Amino acid sequence: MKIKHPDNSPDKPGQVEKFFTNSTEIKYVLREIKKRNAFPRKVTMRASGTRYYFE
């Protein structure tokens, strides 16, 4: 997935990166967004230990 950091990000303002994941939760959300033809989406990604999720 492609990630764009906010322009006001203190460490990576406006920077674009790729993010690879095998998270079933994230892949489920991405499939649902695709079904609804709702790309692009603005979401906040959080981490808890090694678990990443959308907020």
Residue 54 has what pLDDT? 82
**Predicted TM-score (pTM) of this structure:** 0.64
Give the 3-state DSSP-derived string for the chain, with helices as H, strands as E and coil as C.
CEEECCCCCCCCCCCEEECCCCCHHHHHHHHHHHHCCCCCCCCCEEEECCEEEEC
pLDDT in tens, the chain (55 residues): 888 888 998 989 999 999 898 888 889 988 998 899 988 778 888 888 888 888 8
